[in-house]
């Protein structure tokens, strides 16, 4: 029966590696000695000490011997310095190659950033004339504003139905805890600059408890804080209202006021809260703005987690959230690009802090609603 090649033992492999390293070092030393001997012979030829078959030691004067010995020491020193210089040059070449690659990558990133900044500038200058209209919330009639928002809510619900209430996987942030998701900034030819957040999470509460908690959070987020928490019970149908909100956290002030239209749809195993809001931004993340209005489309979809087996009640709920925010400016504003960049930067800086506030508040609301459902 044919046998495969026998693998060498590990000890033998290690011994052979050590022997190879020793032999390489020995070869290097011998090459240095050969170089020194050749240099010595050339020196003897120059001084007239030719090899005649007789020992040259008797023909070399003490002074020549001392000179040769001194020269040999200098030659050895020069040879060692040369070897060190060659090794140092090789290391420098390698490091220079790494620096060149790094510089090339930085140049590519700089070009990409410049192109994105140019796109933001172009989109910001076109956003107020394309697709999204700047609403004067004080001058325009409420009926006209709410009608436009209701149509936008219907379009958003249609989009959710077409994709089965599933968010794009490329943008979805899946968490096993409370979160607002990751914020992304995109450039859109129709909308200008778009800020989006997607998140999917599972909470260990049944659908009714989770829905009441998220609805209460929606009310608080729009400045509605009733004295009795039961007054903010989940409302069904369509709601149109005005709101004003001021938030101060860690020295950063945010202040907005606007109008929103919301629709709540309740199915057997799913509750969907969809809304559109327009708000004038007075300050955001500690930055004061002039003539800036954000227009938001958002949805919260809560689905019951079904359990197998008879008589087993669901104790968990899957929550999908989606937020899309578009900054729009009044026609009289000249520094649209600067304010757009400031709004995006402020949103990035405030995201983690706002996420912390939202998660803490949602946790308290969920626990409170669960306590009320359990103990009344």
Q: What does the pLDDT look like over 77-130, one tens digit per residue?
A: 777 787 788 888 888 888 888 888 888 888 888 888 777 777 666 655 554 444
Q: What is the mean pLDDT of residues 240-268?
A: 87
Question: Is the residue at 64 inside a domain?
Answer: no
Number of domains forming the structure of the chain: 1
| pLDDT attached to residue 276 | 94
Domain containing 345 — which CATH number? 3.30.530
| pLDDT attached to residue 172 | 40
Question: Is the residue at 272 inside a domain?
Answer: yes
Question: Is the residue at 343 inside a domain?
Answer: yes
Across the chain, which distance is largest between two alpha carbons, in Å?
Answer: 122
Question: Is the residue at 3 inside a domain?
Answer: no
Question: Is the residue at 194 inside a domain?
Answer: yes
Question: Is the residue at 123 inside a domain?
Answer: no
Quickly state the pLDDT bin for 50 (edges 50, 70, 90): very low
Question: Is the residue at 363 inside a domain?
Answer: yes
* Whether the predicted pLDDT of 324 surpasses 80: yes
Q: What is the mean pLDDT of residues 323-328?
A: 91
Range of the domain at 206: 142-375
* Whether the predicted pLDDT of 56 surpasses 80: no
Quickly state the pLDDT bin for 298 (edges 50, 70, 90): very high
Question: Is the residue at 56 inside a domain?
Answer: no
| pLDDT attached to residue 48 | 54
Check residues 82 and 142 and name the one with the higher pLDDT: 142
């Amino acid at each position: 029966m044919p046998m495969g090649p026998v693998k060498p033992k590990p000890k033998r492999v290690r011994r052979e590696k050590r022997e190879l390293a020793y032999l390489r070092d020995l070869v290097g030393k011998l090459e240095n000695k050969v170089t020194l001997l050749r240099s010595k012979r050339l020196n003897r030829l120059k001084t007239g000490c030719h090899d005649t078959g007789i020992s040259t030691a008797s023909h070399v004067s003490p002074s020549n011997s001392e000179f040769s010995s001194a020269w040999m020491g200098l030659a050895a020193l020069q040879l060692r310095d040369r070897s060190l210089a060659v090794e140092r040059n090789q290391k420098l070449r390698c490091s220079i190659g790494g620096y060149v690659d790094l510089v090339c990558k930085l140049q590519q990133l700089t070009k990409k950033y410049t192109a994105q900044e140019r796109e933001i500038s172009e989109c910001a200058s076109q956003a107020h004339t394309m697709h999204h209209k700047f609403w004067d919330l004080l001058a325009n009639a409420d009926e006209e504003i709410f009608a436009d928002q209701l149509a936008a809510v219907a379009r958003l619900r249609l989009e959710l139905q077409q994709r089965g209430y599933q968010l794009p996987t490329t943008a979805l942030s899946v968490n096993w805890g409370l979160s607002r998701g990751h914020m992304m900034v995109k450039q859109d030819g129709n909308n200008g600059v778009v800020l989006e957040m997607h998140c999917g999470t599972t909470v260990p509460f049944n659908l009714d408890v989770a829905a009441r908690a998220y609805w209460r959070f929606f009310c608080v987020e729009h400045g509605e804080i009733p004295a009795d928490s039961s007054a903010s019970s989940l409302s069904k149908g369509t709601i149109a209202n005005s709101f004003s909100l001021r938030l101060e956290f860690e020295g950063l002030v945010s202040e907005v006021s606007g109008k929103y239209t919301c629709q709540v749809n309740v199915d057997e195993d799913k509750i969907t809260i969809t809304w559109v809001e327009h708000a004038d931004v007075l300050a955001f993340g500690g930055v004061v703005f002039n003539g800036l209005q954000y227009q938001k489309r958002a949805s919260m979809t809560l689905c019951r987690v079904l359990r197998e087996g008879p008589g087993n009640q669901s104790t968990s709920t899957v929550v999908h959230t989606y937020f899309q925010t578009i900054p729009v400016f009044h026609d009289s504003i000249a520094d649209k690009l600067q304010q757009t960049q400031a709004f995006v930067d402020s949103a990035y800086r405030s995201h983690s802090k706002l996420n912390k506030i939202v998660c803490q508040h949602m946790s308290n609301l969920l626990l409170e609603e669960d306590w009320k459902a359990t103990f009344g």
